Amino acid sequence: MPQVGPFKELKNMKVDEKEITRVVAIIDSMTRQERHNHMLINGARRRRIARGSGTSVQEVNALLKQYAQARKMMKTFSGGLLGGKKLPGMGNFKLPNMFGS
């Protein structure tokens, strides 16, 4: 990663292993369909995911919100880069499904 702009801060970033474990537990509690299409996850599914992962519904909501924000940012970045022009070598860049499953 280049050490410029917003990536400058990543050098000093610390990873919280408990946070990663919690996120993995939430993702593992989702069905394959939910991982492929986050729009399927309604209130009842959020409660089931929270129970299955040992977390709260608020934590599941926070993860889904973070995912939506990251997806929106990546879409903006890939679509709006250089005024809509694609970089050489990008080809048909497509955002992956939720959590790559």
Q: How confident is the model at residue 90, as a pLDDT? A: 57
Q: Is residue 9 part of a domain?
A: no
Residue 67 domain boundaries: 15-100
Q: Is residue 7 part of a domain?
A: no
CATH number, position 27: 1.10.260.30
Q: How far apart are CA 95 and CA 64, in angstroms?
A: 16
* CB 50, CB 59: distance < 8 Å: yes
- Tokens 């474990």 belong to 21
* CB 19, CB 79: distance < 8 Å: no
Q: Is residue 85 part of a domain?
A: yes
Q: Is residue 2 part of a domain?
A: no
Q: Is residue 60 part of a domain?
A: yes
Q: Is residue 81 part of a domain?
A: yes
**Number of structural domains in the chain:** 1
Of 53, 70, 50, whose CA–CA distance to 61 is shortest? 50
Whether the model clears a pTM of 0.75, i.e. scores above it, the answer is no
- Write down the H helix ranges in 1-101: 17-28, 32-36, 43-53, 57-80
pLDDT tens-digit profile, the chain (101 residues): 455 566 666 667 778 899 999 999 999 999 999 999 999 999 999 999 999 999 999 999 999 999 999 998 888 877 655 555 555 555 565 556 666 55
* DSSP letter assigned to residue 31: -
